[in-house]
Amino acid sequence: MEEKEDPKCSYAQALDNSPKDEFQELLQTLEQVSWDGVPLVKYCGCWFPVWMFRQILAAQKHYKAKDTDIILSTLPKSGTTWMKALMFSIANRHVFPIDQSPLLTSTPHKLVPPLEFDTFWEQDNNPDLEAIPSPRIFGTHMHFKTLPECIRERNCKIIYICRNPLDQFVSQIHFSSQNRSGRDADPVAIDEAFNMYCQGISPYGPFWDDILGYWNAHLENPGKVLFLKYEDLKEDITSQVKKIAEFMGFPFSLEEEEQGLIDQISGLCSFESLSNLAPNKTGDNNRTVKSSSFFRKGQVGDWTNYLTPAMAERIKNLMDSKFEGSGLMFKT
């Protein structure tokens, strides 16, 4: 069952009602834990990394959604990079031919910036986003109930992608170990991180709240929220790309299909292609995160190499109880 919504869940409201250094004051009242050396803060039932909490509040307060905006929402390590590349390519296919795609010279995260960092840095927490051509596409890891209210209220669309939690957990641990700069703590043991994960503690956890929030929003309004699974994209990318394009409002014409455009876009955005492009092989993405760390194996079921049968059983039981009656199933 989803937690009952806290009336203070509107960051804008929380900030407006606070005195001067509202951010620090608010932070001090909230529960915090360390996850693999990363401080997390619990707000509205969700564990946000403290380093981006200020930007999250700024995005919540200042972001003005347009009806033409498209928001990509994900739990980290669920296919964000892949979806950013696909969505950018679908929306801009009439602007850039495939062989001149900006993906050849830039990372998917630069082309589709995250709403809660890069876009709303604290020193520039009310940037002018008006000049960005439509459709503006932003990524976010915020749970549905913590999205800026205007995203839920306006007619802009949301695409959510999730991944079976076993693989998502394993991917998160590897990603964290790849990006340890600025962290003093020893790397977390997998058992400890796993226990925390099962208690809902991980960046943007609990995973079940995030998934259920978007699942219910999708059931309520499928025209507003498209719900995708990483495993389905792996299984049949062509039909998923068609579905994504239709939902975004940029369906492929018969002529484009016959020209093989869907295959060309899927090919450009495939793991093999993206991970071998120069901008994704070197450099940092968001100041401290290595661009290459967004690409590891890109497989379904890699968890079997890291989790014991007992650990897998525990997560499966957790999924059964949390997702009971929702109709949600995952291929593991």
Which residues in this chain contact ligand A3P in the complex, by CB under 6 A?
A: 74, 76-82, 167, 171, 174, 269-271, 274, 294-298, 302
Q: Which is nearer to ligand A3P, 13 or 106 (CB)?
A: 106
> Least Å distance between CB 77 and ligand A3P?
4
> Least Å distance between CB 35 and ligand A3P?
16
> Least Å distance between CB 276 and ligand A3P?
11
Neighbours of 117 (CB within 10 A): 22
Is the N-terminal amide bond of 206 cis, ω within 30° of 0? yes
Contacts of residues 209-213 at CB distance under 8 Å and 24 or more positions apart, as own/partner, are: 209/2, 209/3, 209/45, 209/46, 209/143, 210/46, 210/75, 210/143, 210/144, 210/162, 211/75, 211/162, 211/323, 211/328, 212/2, 212/322, 212/323, 212/326, 212/328, 213/2, 213/143, 213/144, 213/145
Q: Which is nearer to ligand A3P, 26 or 237 (CB)?
A: 237
Return the structure tokens found at 51: 């380093």
Please tell me which residue in 94, 109, 141, 218 is annotated as part of the active site. 141
Q: Which is nearer to ligand A3P, 32 or 276 (CB)?
A: 276
DSSP 77-95: TSSHHHHHHHHHHHHTTTT
Q: Looking at residue 290, what DSSP letter applies?
A: B
Q: Which is nearer to ligand A3P, 78 or 291 (CB)?
A: 78
Q: Looking at residue 188, what DSSP letter applies?
A: P
> Least Å distance between CB 293 and ligand A3P?
8
Q: Which is nearer to ligand A3P, 11 or 197 (CB)?
A: 197
> Least Å distance between CB 66 and ligand A3P?
25
Beta-sheet strands, E only, within 75-174? 137-140, 157-162
The yes-or-no answer on residue 141 being catalytic is yes
- Name the residues annotated as catalytic: 141
